[in-house]
């Protein structure tokens, strides 16, 4: 999992990197910083895979809803993935004549 994170997994991990969140807060945060509207079904599908891989962890329930947090492994995996993506983005932008912002 850590070798190649899906786009949705990156969005969820990036959101959780800002602090633990429950489902609704996660959806809204992703929508705000990425402009991507994840559905609840997709979100919990991604969370299931990430939790299986040990990249996120459920915290004690608050008002019947579990907040989720990123684990140290999740932080490392996200860091690796974003670094790879950034490298590719820099090369790609340079080759099409656009400077990375």
Partner 1 sequence: MSTRWTRALLRLYPRRVRERYGSELTELQDELRARGELSRIRLLRDVIVGALVSRTKRQRAAFIAGLVGAALLTAAALGEWNQTTPAARYQSVAVLVAQATPTTPRGSVCFVGGTQCSVSDCTVFIANAATVAQTATVATTATATPGGATTGARRHRPAAAACISHARVVSPHIVFVATPVSRARRRR
- Contact pick of 18, 19, 36, 48 for partner 1 (by CB under 8 A): 48
Measured from the CB atom, the residue of 36 and 89 that comes closer to partner 1 is: 36
In the complex, the smallest distance separating the C-beta of residue 82 from partner 1, rounded to whole angstroms, is 20
Q: Candidates 13-21, 47-55, 74-82, 87-95: pick the segment binding partner 1 (CB under 8 A).
A: 47-55
CA dihedral sign of residues 77, 82, 88, 90: negative
In the complex, the smallest distance separating the C-beta of residue 19 from partner 1, rounded to whole angstroms, is 19
**What six digits make up the tokens of 41?**
């079904």
| Site membership for partner 1, residue 69 (CB under 8 A) | no
What is the SS3 assignment for 17?
helix
Task: Tell me which residues touch partner 1 (CB under 8 A).
Answer: 6, 8, 23-24, 27, 39-49, 64-66
């Amino acid at each position: 999992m850590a070798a190649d994170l899906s786009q949705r997994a990156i969005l969820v991990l990036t959101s959780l990197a800002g602090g633990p969140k429950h489902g609704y807060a996660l959806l809204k945060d992703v929508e705000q910083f990425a402009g991507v509207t994840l559905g609840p079904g997709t979100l919990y599908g991604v969370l299931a895979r990430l939790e299986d891989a040990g990249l996120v962890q459920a915290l004690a329930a608050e008002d019947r809803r579990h907040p989720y947090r990123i684990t140290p492994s999740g932080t490392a995996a996200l860091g690796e993935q974003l670094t790879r993506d950034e490298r590719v983005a820099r090369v790609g932008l340079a080759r099409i004549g656009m400077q990375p912002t």
